[in-house]
Chains A and B, each alone.
Chain A
């Protein structure tokens, strides 16, 4: 069943067009890995879905309901949780407070406490420092925190923008291990955006390559990694 459908959306910043007619679908429980070179429009795609930047044309539907032009909070309330690039922890708030910000919209209040414990079980390092200001955490710890914060909203789709940005390779592996595990445990639908496609192997699922605001390649991640065209796409078609 299709959970999220993006149909032919175009997004512009002034005279600069960042996305031109992008169409994609994500089914419940699926993993979609979106990759592409710097400036391809990957983050714009996520921000457009999240309602942070307005789509110039086209439509976005979640669960069959049109959400084009809805506010970020309404889209979040429908179960789309975005972990933006650069993580955006609330530095002055404690770890526990960070985790609780997104629970206000939940209808299932009674489950919040249990979810908090399970997030702490997943990330024991957060549990140990639950009253520490989030600004004190390292980059890797902050990445764990924002993933935990997104989980606390009980999302139907979790989107992550550049989870490996600025992290050491070992930490990146940890982050992906957690994502894979979460997906297996919770049947979470994942939308991962990453400039480097090397980790797509770990997550499996489907993969989309964006370049110049357009989808240029689409297929199963396992097949595409092997595909010579993926490498070519980074450097441009027919350049050599």
Chain B
């Protein structure tokens, strides 16, 4: 029983992380058909923003020393700002170009951000300690659940709830959903293209910052690759969820999180390092049956 409970919490917390990542990608994809390959580097940027630039192994914590009620908003602002800047400087010029061009442009931007980080921080992973008290377990129905898992799940659920409320109950949310479905029609109803797109980028950037914070807290390190790994899974989550479907992306994230944890628990010990490969194999099986994804939006036109 406690083992099952442990697995459920593992699945939920890992799924939360992937869902937040998939959400950040799906929102931008929804409004401008851009698959943002720079998202992983946005996440890494937010993690490294907590450190003072240095190529030494021992990290000098900088913004990370701030109390949480300052650090969290600061990091969210950094994420949003980086994301918005990317839109203004780079992606704005690629509107109306084909998705392949936009993908390469975002890949190139990610590459630039990555190497700027490498230049200032080197490729050595750095240790970073945030809120060590979160590592302590809490007892829940007899299982020892790390506090951090609970916090991650709660943060994700709160984020999702706020986002749903925002999308369903506010004017900007309504405009964003309309734009995601038919951008030109929304504009012909007076919805400002730049406003909606900037908003999507800002939210996506904040989600990247949230992931960065969670990852840094879980792993206790700042590593240049940590963002790319989450992004890879988040991409796959958006494909399984059905490209263009925001709820589908979230569901896809949780499904992959659950699949990963189940593989982790059931695979023989030697095979565990290949967990992601097994997850990917499972994804391929799913796509064989449903090439359009599990929750493909009804209105989705095939834009090859």
Contact = CB atoms under 8 A, between A and B. Distances in A.
Q: Do chains A and B touch in the complex (CB under 8 A)?
A: yes
Interface in A79-122: 81-82, 84, 88, 90-93, 97, 100-102, 104-105
B182 to A, nearest CB: 6
Interface residues of B, number: 20
A77 interface: yes
Contacts of A88: 182, 185
Contacts of B185: 84, 88, 90
Contact of A73 (B174, B177, B193, B297): B193
A73 B298 contact: no
A179 to B, nearest CB: 19
A76 interface: yes
A153 interface: yes
B298 A104 contact: no
Interface string B153-186: 0000000000000000001001101100110111
A104 B299 contact: no
B98 to A, nearest CB: 16
Contacts of A104: 171, 174-175, 190-191
A93 B184 contact: no
A52 B181 contact: no
Interface in A118-171: 135, 149, 153
A91 B188 contact: no
B192 interface: yes
A72 B186 CA distance: 9
Interface residues of chain B: helix, strand, loop or mixed (majority): helix
A236 B122 CA distance: 73
B191 A73 contact: yes
A72 B178 contact: no
A106 to B, nearest CB: 8
* A: interface residue count bin: 20 to 34
A65 B120 CA distance: 52
A135 B193 contact: no
Interface in A45-67: 50, 52
Given A90-B178, A97-B174, A104-B171, A77 B299 contact: no
Contacts of B193: 71, 73
Given A91-B299, A92-B181, A92-B297, A149 B174 contact: no
Contact of B177 (A71, A77, A90): A90
Residue among A52, A72, A88 having the largest count of chain B Cβ atoms under 10 Å: A72
25 contacts: A52-B187, A71-B193, A73-B187, A73-B190, A76-B187, A76-B189, A84-B185, A88-B185, A90-B178, A90-B186, A91-B298, A91-B299, A92-B299, A93-B181, A97-B177, A97-B178, A100-B174, A101-B178, A102-B191, A104-B175, A104-B191, A105-B189, A105-B191, A135-B299, A153-B190
